[in-house]
Amino acid sequence: MSAEERKPSLPTDEFNRKWYWDFRKNAWYCLRCNNCKWIDNWEVKDARFARICPSNAYYLFDTYAAQGRMDVSLDLIDGVLKYEDDPEILDILYACNTCGGCDVMCKGVHDMSPINVILEMRAKMVEDGQLLPQYLPILESLRREDNTMLGKKADRGKWAEGLGIKNLAEESAEVAFFTGCRFSFDEELWKIPRAIAGIFKDAGVDFGIMGKDENCCGSRPAQMGFKGEFTKYAENNIDAWKNAGVKTVVTACSDGYYAMKRLYPEVGSKVEVLHMVEFLARLIEQGKIKLTKKVPMKVTYHDPCHLGRRLSQAISVFNPNERSMGIYEPPRDIIKAIPGVEMVEMFRNRECAWCCGAGGGVIDTYPDFNSYTATQRIIEAQETGAEAIVTACPWCERSLGDAIKETGAKIKVIDLVELVDSARQRGGK
Amino acid sequence: MALKDDLAAILGSDYVSDDPEILAKYAADWSLVQPRQPDVVARPGNTEEVQAVIKNASDRGIPVTPRSSGVGYYGGGIPSQGGIIVDLGRMNKILQIDPRNKKVKIEAGATWAQVQAEAARSGMMVCSPLLPHPAKSVVTSALEREPILIPKTEYSDQVLTQELVLASGELFWTGTALGKAMKDQCFPDAFVPGARLWNGAQGTLGITTWANIKAEFLPVKDRTFFIAFDRPDDMVEALYRIERRMLGYECLALNRTNLAAILGSGGEKAKDKLSPWTIILIVSALDYFPDEKIAYEEESLAEIAKSLKFKTTHTLAGITGLDAKLPAVLRKPWADEPYWKHRQAGASTDIFFHTTLDRAAEFEEAINKIAVAGGFDTADVGGYLQPLDRGRAGFLQFGLRYHPEDNAEVSRAREFHRQASETVARMGGFFTTPYGGWADLVYSHTAGYTSTLKIVKDAYDPKHILNPGKLCF
Amino acid sequence: MPYGDEKHSLIFQELTNILGEENVRHGTATMTAYSRCLFAVATLNRARKPEFVVLPRDTQDIQNIARLATRYEFPYSIMGSGVMMPLHSAAKRYWCIIDPKRMNRVEVDEKNMFAVIQPYVTHAQLQAEAMKRGLFNGIPLVGAQAMALANHVWHGWHGSAYRTGFATRNILGMEWVLPTGDIMTTGSLAVPNAGYFWGEGPGPDLRNLRKGLVSENGSLGIITKLAVKLHPWPGPKYFPVADIRPCKTSELPDDFQWHFINYPTEKACADGMYAIGKAEIGGIMQRWGTQLIAWEYAKSNEEYLKLLEEGYWRKECLNLVAICLFPFTSAKQVAYEEKVLSCIIERTGGKEVSQEVYDKLKPFVANTLIRDNYGFRWTRPGNTMHTSMLFADSLDAVFNAQEEHWQHIEGYKPPFLDDNGESAWVLPFDFCHSGGCTVDQSHEKLEPVCQEVMKEAMDWLQHDIKAGMCAFTTNLAPADVVGPKFANYHLPLAKIKKALDPKNVANAGRFIDVARVEKAQQEAAEKAKAQQPPPEAPKAH
């Protein structure tokens, strides 16, 4: 038969024609190609910094990689494997930062989404009553105090005391600054929301906060598999914004941003959601922030997973033809616009960035794994010769900051907001 | 029936001999390896006859040592335990010159003189080692890993596929020659084991009857450069740079003694004008725009020369016309008598091994010390450094010239060879094909490799009839 | 624990004693993660799981595992990325899989152009370390996330093999743990103070015990360290990359030139390749099947199917030769080679592709051959892949063989998918002294389809045995099955396997079945006693 006479023979399974979400098929069609364990092969610049999956790098067995998790998930879905068969199943599915590294690499070659299988499996496990014991205090904190940090609800707005910020539970404002659990209860990081408040005020932004009435955004519960909790918090927050007449929600937490940007619309949210990075870029563009002060510093930028690759991985927005639509360039553009700052990239950046280690509940449940992951990033950052790691997420800042303390590394971690705050012109100077 | 009669029944009496004079010729070669006379010499004319001879030897448990030509330098064809010499000299057909697939299919007895002449008719050549003896077998050169002068490719191994007679007398083929559907037989790795298991085996795992050997097209234009060095370290740096930029076809380095020998009487006269070491680099081009190719390579060479501060020339020691003649000389076997290595003193005993280029100087120093301590002059030591695989490695050969008629000198040469071999082995020089006494030096230090080799030998030659006493067998 | 018997407990305890509790698993979940891959055979054998997975730290750990396995007679295999898992998966009780993730060092000797790698170093890692130093190593079609050591030993057809030779030839010194636990070093590493720089010898080349068209899959031991050749890389230190995955692109500097040449027929295509090889130009040359281009180019199934329906690749690239000119010597080399190439194209009746096609091929497809990113895109249409055709000989023979196989595959459509045209990847070696091809097929990972696919493989195996083809199927089948048709090459191998692995524990049951060979020999001897005429001996050809 000549080449011209040959007729195409097409796939029978619709999944192999056009991507749609199917839990089992995603697991079934895993090929063990191993792309989920490594960054994009073109991007490997140094053998030491080639891995993408912290879980696989730390635990080593293939079970601790998207590939193995697909295998375990498939057998659990099919009933071939039962929870009681192997006590390690819980760790296999929970000792994952849900950083989405596997997912972006997998999608380079297939129309599949392993991260969503992992998240769905966690939800299923919660439904099936398969909970990590480490989750119990967090769950208790969520149920009693509406936060994941084991803090008191009454203390949630404490960081803003004395700043004279509008309380959106009582007043309305155009912009709601959503603080999030980490910034609210991690006192060492309060300097960042406080700097944001200063920037907003100077830029004339009409903004407010929910203070003690702010709820957890639901992002961390969603990552842990607590779908019900997520929905509850999402609905509460959406209602609160509606009541306060909020048009735009700004957050400096990448985890929270992901939830509000990608998951809230499914629960009915209509407000504009911006990460502080985007909002800063807007203010700079509008001339409301002027970066005039010299900050003589060599820095590198750490892409928070939920501000980067995770943004393209929500089932609702995933399009296999599109590039991973993270917010990669705006923070870099801002850093480069600051006089005196020298920006250097780490070996792994943008969609290939190595996670800080905090995601997926790991910071609370697997401290050693969290510490390993963060330390690896610190080592990588130090290789660049940077004095500081700039990032844009409190979870990254906590995780990386702790690793710096533990290792005594000569580098610091700062939020992009702090850098901008140091460089911005104040009071006409 | 007596062995000779059996063999005569197979081959015809003209091709079997136990005449002491003939046996004596097969007892030794050009090396200092202890001679040993065979019991009988058999000269088969085709594969079936080889099979029948081996089968007979196998039934009797008699050693069989193959010889593919009359020229041996390292003792590989000396029958260490007597028995039958299978002389493949009659099997010297050139079965095919295949320009499309750039190979020649030749019998084991085909010589360099024959093959290069025939290949040249098709505009081709087999990549040659340094001026082989014209009567030397091409197949043996390739199987025994004689290094080729052209490091431009990543392949120093020349054998593609071959036909073998195993110790049982059964036939075997390596690479794709093993499949009857495989017409061109170009690929060495068809099944486990790959074809190269039989390389460097000195006929201990089977006797090759024919082989497909790589061939290359003869360049249409060449330009020869000579680069003289006083210090081998400087020369090595130049070689690294030349090879890294993939310049030239033939590229080799010779010391004054070897270069003088190769240049003939003119060279001997001009010996004092020669530098301690000289790189010979032939920049060549095939059919298309040869001048342009040579020009850009020459320009790159000039850049390297400028950066390393060396000079390139087209003449050597005042000998004119050498640059034009040399490419053709190096692409053919040695044509004169005596053989180039023998012209200075009558004989040469060689130490050759693989190393990295950057270690050449330390080996040279060690060898020279041993020569001097043995009452020789450093000028008696011919040196040859052949970059391999784009400079990834080097083949280093030192040949001590001695007078074979002077027993005392022979004895000192033998001692030099022993000491130099031990020193080289201790320093980490690598004898890829451990001839004669090198076998013990090598295999006594390689327990894992040696025990596995013996397993392989037992599998292919359970009665140990094939060239016993060689390697670790 | 799938099998809770005493022997299992003993092995688990001993493995734990050797390696530490944290480096040994026998839980069902972990075993599941070492049981599945893309291939039909693994899909059908999903229930087949190992009993142990272990993480050795170094050569000594592997020696200890091998010794333990020989003492207690349990089978084991080593698995790098596990891409070729059917060759290493559990096939018997008490199977132990060695996962070498802790053995991941790479060291480069820049001056002498080689790298020493451990089993868990990917091609991408090796490339990165090499390129930093102005060197490079070839990349296989499977992708740079595959392990460089396993690929060099097993298959090793790199995109650059046209110039650099196939990778198995690029192996230098090796450290090899025999099934008995003893260490064997090969090449220059075998002798004191020489290092890794040379591969052959001493004497007969035992590297070749590991290598045919593919390898013996670890049936004769485990390689723990391997030196591989690196080649001059006249390009940038870091591979130039733009955009975000999966739309990532790469453009090399201008002094690298890609040319994509279409030929009217396969014969003309082969002639073109021979002519280019004769002129010895270029750093990379291959013939790409249209199907291969379609797979590599598409960033989604939707895009793949859209172009398939349009017949885009068949129309534009039916007999395509891709060649990249490298500035090894200088930029002038590329200018010269471009001129030569133009003459060859004209003389051989080729035509360079349109700018539109060029712009598609160059940034997305071509550079994968230097620094592969998207090898596994071939699996996109059905989320699996099948290959029963892998073949090497002369380029002419390769073209003939792939065409024959393609015709054969037509009889199996469906279940095989597509048709963008032929998928054959033709790779010349050593400036066209020889060449190889793989012909891959898409199919869906559905059990009935996998059954059909396996049938095709078995049919083609029978074809290869009957025809006397030294090919993929005849290499994958146990040697004792095909050996009788290939000069009984299996008989010495059986002796070697038995001597090296007396308890038959190293990837037991694959490569060769010694017991079956011995039984057949015994039966033959009995027959001979009964004065049966002996089987016809192979004749010279």
Q: What is the pLDDT of residues A248-261, one digit of tens each?
A: 999 999 999 999 99
The domains spanning A11-127 and A135-285 adopt the same CATH topology: no
Q: Is residue B466 part of a domain?
A: no
Scanning every residue of chain A, which has its alpha carbon at the shortest distance from the alpha carbon of C121?
A47
Scanning every residue of chain A, which has its alpha carbon at the shortest distance from the alpha carbon of C142?
A33
Give A279-290 pLDDT, tens digit per residue.
999 999 999 999
In CATH, what number is assigned to the domain containing residue B57? 3.30.43.10
When pLDDT is cut at 50, 70 and 90, the band that residue A122 belongs to is very high
Residue A2: per-residue pLDDT:
58
**CATH entry, A297-423, from 3.40.1350, 3.40.50, 2.40.50, 1.10.600:** 3.40.50
Could you list the residue range(s) of the whole structural domain that residue B20 is in? 3-89
Residue C537: per-residue pLDDT:
66
Residue A322: per-residue pLDDT:
85
The amino acid that residue C54 corresponds to is V
Same domain, B252 and B344: no
Q: Is residue B448 part of a domain?
A: no
ipTM above 0.85, yes or no: yes
Give A287-315 pLDDT, tens digit per residue.
999 999 999 999 999 999 999 999 999 99
Entry field: residues in chain B:
473
Residues 156-195 of A with CB under 8 A from C: none
Residues 330-369 of C with CB under 8 A from B: 330, 332-333, 335-336, 339-340, 343
**CATH entry, C6-98, from 1.10.390.10, 3.30.43.10, 3.40.630.10, 3.40.50.300:** 3.30.43.10
Give B105-139 pLDDT, tens digit per residue.
999 999 999 999 999 999 999 999 999 999 999 99
Q: Which fold has domain A135-285?
A: Rossmann fold (3.40.50)
Residue B152: per-residue pLDDT:
78
Same domain, B37 and B140: no
Domains of chain A: which residue ranges?
A: 11-127, 135-285, 297-423
Query: Which chain A residues have a beta carbon less than 8 Å from that of C45?
Result: none
Give A72-110 pLDDT, tens digit per residue.
999 999 999 999 999 999 999 999 999 999 999 999 999
Rounded to a whole number, what is the distance in Å from the CA of C392 to chain A's nearest CA?
Answer: 24
Query: Under a CB-based contact definition with an 8 Å cutoff, are residues C83 and C123 in contact?
Result: no
The amino acid that residue A338 corresponds to is I
Provide the β-strand partners of residue B351. B398
Same domain, B298 and B366: no
Scanning every residue of chain C, which has its alpha carbon at the shortest distance from the alpha carbon of B392?
C112
Write the secondary structure of C306-352 as one string of H (helix), E (strand) and C (coil).
HHHHHCHHHHHCCCEEEEEECCCCCHHHHHHHHHHHHHHHHHHCCEE
Is A369 part of the contact surface with chain C (CB cutoff 8 Å)?
no
Query: Which chain C residues have a beta carbon less than 8 Å from that of A372?
Result: none
Read off the DSSP letter of residue A333.
Answer: H
- Domain finish residue from B89, B117, B146: B89
Choose the closest CB to C444 out of A8, A11, A110. Answer: A11
Indicate yes or no: CB of A62 within 8 angstroms of CB of C376.
no
When pLDDT is cut at 50, 70 and 90, the band that residue B401 belongs to is very high
Query: Under a CB-based contact definition with an 8 Å cutoff, are residues C273 and C407 in contact?
Result: no
Decide: A and C in contact? Rule: 3+ Cβ pairs under 8 Å.
yes
Section B408-425 average pLDDT: 97
Query: Which chain B residues have a beta carbon less than 8 Å from that of C487?
Result: 170-173, 178
When pLDDT is cut at 50, 70 and 90, the band that residue A161 belongs to is very high
Rounded to a whole number, what is the distance in Å from the CA of C236 to chain B's nearest CA?
Answer: 15
Whether the pLDDT of residue C46 is over 90: the answer is no
On average, the pLDDT of chain C sits at 93
**Rg from Cα positions in chain C:** 24
Which of B65-69, B367-371, C42-46, C489-493 is predicted least confidently? C42-46
Scanning every residue of chain C, which has its alpha carbon at the shortest distance from the alpha carbon of A319?
C300
Residue A5: per-residue pLDDT:
63
**CATH entry, C106-232, from 3.30.70.1450, 3.40.50.970, 3.30.465.10, 3.40.630.30:** 3.30.465.10
- Residues C507, C3: Cα–Cα separation, whole Å: 20
**Rg from Cα positions in chain B:** 22
Section B77-96 average pLDDT: 96
Same domain, B181 and B268: no
Whether the pLDDT of residue A397 is over 90: the answer is yes
Query: Under a CB-based contact definition with an 8 Å cutoff, are residues A208 and A177 in contact?
Result: yes
Is B155 part of the contact surface with chain C (CB cutoff 8 Å)?
yes
Is A93 part of the contact surface with chain C (CB cutoff 8 Å)?
no
CATH architecture, domain defined by A11-127? Orthogonal Bundle (1.10)
When pLDDT is cut at 50, 70 and 90, the band that residue B73 belongs to is confident
Counting one residue from chain A and one from chain C, the pairs whose CB atoms sit within 8 A come to 238
Indicate yes or no: CB of C194 within 8 angstroms of CB of B429.
yes
Query: Which chain C residues have a beta carbon less than 8 Å from that of A33?
Result: 38, 83, 143, 145, 376, 379
Q: Mind giving me the DSSP string for B378-391? A: GGGEEEEEEEEGGG
Residue B156: per-residue pLDDT:
66
Section C180-197 average pLDDT: 97
Query: Which chain C residues have a beta carbon less than 8 Å from that of B155?
Result: 165, 169, 430, 433
Give C128-181 pLDDT, tens digit per residue.
999 999 999 988 888 899 999 999 999 888 889 999 888 888 999 999 999 999
Is B389 part of the contact surface with chain C (CB cutoff 8 Å)?
yes
Whether the pLDDT of residue B38 is over 80: the answer is yes
Query: Which chain C residues have a beta carbon less than 8 Å from that of A332?
Result: none
Cβ count within 10 A of residue A58: 20
When pLDDT is cut at 50, 70 and 90, the band that residue C455 belongs to is very high
Provide the β-strand partners of residue A298. A342
Domains of chain C: which residue ranges?
A: 6-98, 106-232, 257-473, 483-529
Which of A39, A44, A319, A372 is the best substitution to test chain C (most C C-beta atoms within 10 A)? Answer: A44
When pLDDT is cut at 50, 70 and 90, the band that residue C56 belongs to is very high
When pLDDT is cut at 50, 70 and 90, the band that residue C535 belongs to is low
- Domain finish residue from B67, B89, B111: B89
Residue C1: per-residue pLDDT:
46
Q: Is residue B473 part of a domain?
A: no
Q: Is C10 exposed, middle or buried (0-12, 13-18, 19+ CB in 10 A)?
A: middle
Same domain, B247 and B232: yes
| 3 state SS of B194 | coil
Same domain, B25 and B46: yes
Same domain, B175 and B227: no
Residue A3: per-residue pLDDT:
53
Is C541 part of the contact surface with chain B (CB cutoff 8 Å)?
yes
Section C216-237 average pLDDT: 96
Write b or e for each residue in B164-199: b if 16 or more Cβ atoms lie within 10 A of its Cβ, otherwise e: bbbbbbbbbbbbbbbbbbbebbbbbbbbbbbbbbbb
Indicate yes or no: CB of A1 within 8 angstroms of CB of C407.
yes
- For residue B367, CA distances in Å to B75, B229, B344, B360 come to 21, 19, 19, 11
Residues 233-292 of B with CB under 8 A from C: 240, 244-247, 286-289, 292
Section B250-259 average pLDDT: 97
In CATH, what number is assigned to the domain containing residue B316? 3.30.70.3450
Give C269-286 pLDDT, tens digit per residue.
999 999 999 999 999 999
Q: How many domains does chain B have?
A: 4
Same domain, B178 and B225: no
Residue C9: per-residue pLDDT:
97
Same domain, B189 and B99: yes
Which of A1, A4, A9, A121 is the best substitution to test chain C (most C C-beta atoms within 10 A)? Answer: A9
Whether the pLDDT of residue B154 is over 70: the answer is no
- For chain A, report the end-to-end CA distance as a whole number of angstroms: 79
On average, the pLDDT of chain A sits at 95
Q: Which fold has domain C257-473?
A: Vanillyl-alcohol Oxidase; Chain A, domain 3 (3.40.462)
Q: Pairing state of beta strands C135-136 and C171-177?
A: unpaired
Rounded to a whole number, what is the distance in Å from the CA of A87 to chain C's nearest CA?
Answer: 8
- Residues A386, C136: Cα–Cα separation, whole Å: 29
What percentage of chain C carries pLDDT values higher than 90? 77
Write b or e for each residue in C207-235: b if 16 or more Cβ atoms lie within 10 A of its Cβ, otherwise e: bbbbbbbbbbbbbbbbbbbbbbbbbbbbb
